[in-house]
Structure 1
Amino acid sequence: MRRRLYLMRHGAVAYFDDDGRPVAPDDVPLTDEGREQAEATRELLQEERIDRVLSSGLPRTAETAALVAPGHEVETWPDLREIMGARFSSIPPAELEEAFVHAFRGVVPNDKRFIGGETIGELFDRVLPALERLVEDETWDTALVVAHGAVNRAILSYALTGERMFLGRFEQAPGCLNVLDVGDEWVVRAVNVAPGDLVHRSTRLTQMEQYWLQYRPHELME
Structure 2
Amino acid sequence: MKPANRRRIYLMRHGNVTYFDESGRPILPEAVPLNEQGRAQAEAAGRVFAADGVRFDRVIVSGLPRTVETAQGVLAQTGQDIALETWPELVEIRGGKLASIAEDKLREAFTGAFEGIVPEDKRFLNGESIGELMDRVHPALARLRAEDNWDTVLLVLHGGVNRAILSHALTGQRLYLGNLAQTAGCINALDVGDHAADWVVRFVNHAPPTVLQDDTRSTTMEILYEQYRKFRRK
CA shift, 1:104, in A, is 0.7
1:147 deviates by 0.3
The answer to whether 1:124 aligns with 2:134 is: yes
CA distance in structure 2 between the aligned counterparts of 1:93 and 1:174, rounded to whole angstroms: 27
**Equivalent residue, structure 1, for 2:24:** 20
Match of 1:191 in 2: 204
Of 184, 187, 191, 1:181 maps to 191
Residue 103 of structure 1, CA deviation: 2.6
Structure 2 distance, partners of 1:194, 1:18, is: 26
In the alignment, what sits opposite 2:113? Answer: 103
Local SS of the residue matching 1:167: coil
The count of residues paired between Structure 1 and Structure 2 equals 221
Runs (4 or more) in structure 1 with deviation over 3 Å come to: none
- Tell me the CA shift for residue 87 of structure 1: 0.7
> Do residues 55 (structure 1) and 61 (structure 2) align?
yes
Task: Quote the Cα distance in structure 2 between the aligned partners of 1:20 and 1:103.
Answer: 22
Q: For the aligned residues, what is the CA RMSD?
A: 0.9
Other-structure match for 1:134:
144
Deviation at 1:28, TM superposition (A): 0.1
Matched-pair identity in %: 55
**Are 1:202 and 2:215 matched, yes or no?**
yes
Matched position secondary structure for 1:159: helix
| Unaligned residue ranges in structure 1 (runs of 5+) | none
1:102-128 Cα deviation digits (max 9, x unpaired): 331000011111111001111011101
- Distance (whole Å) between structure 2 residues aligned to residue 103 and residue 144 of structure 1: 26
Task: Give CA deviations for 1:161-213 in whole Å, capped at 9, x if unaligned.
Answer: 11110000101110011110001300001111101111111111111111112
Is the 2:113–2:130 Cα contact (8 Å) retained in structure 1? no
Equivalent residue letter for 1:61: T
Take 1:134 and 1:218, find their aligned partners in 2: how far apart are those partners? 41
Take 2:231 and 2:135, find their aligned partners in 1: how far apart are those partners? 35
Aligned residues of 1:53 and 1:69 also touching (Cα < 8 A): no
Q: 1:89 aligns with which of 90, 95, 99?
A: 99
Deviations along 1:117-149, one digit per CA (max 9) or x if unpaired, are: 001111011101111111111110000000000
Offset at residue 216 of structure 1 (A): 2.2
Q: Give the C-alpha shift of residue 23 in structure 1.
A: 1.1
Q: How does the TM-score come out when normalised to structure 1? A: 0.97
* Equivalent position SS for 2:203: strand
C-alpha contact (below 8 Å) 1:13/1:28 kept by paired residues:
yes
**Paired letter, 1:11:** G
Preserved contact between residue 112 and residue 124 of structure 2 (Cα < 8 Å): no
Q: Distance in 2 between matches of 1:162 and 1:112?
A: 21
- In structure 2, the residue corresponding to 1:166 is in which secondary structure? coil
Equivalent residue, structure 2, for 1:64: 70
**Aligned partner (choices 17, 34, 39) of residue 38 of structure 2:** 34
Take 2:120 and 2:108, find their aligned partners in 1: how far apart are those partners? 18
- The answer to whether the 8 Å contact 1:79/1:127 transfers is yes
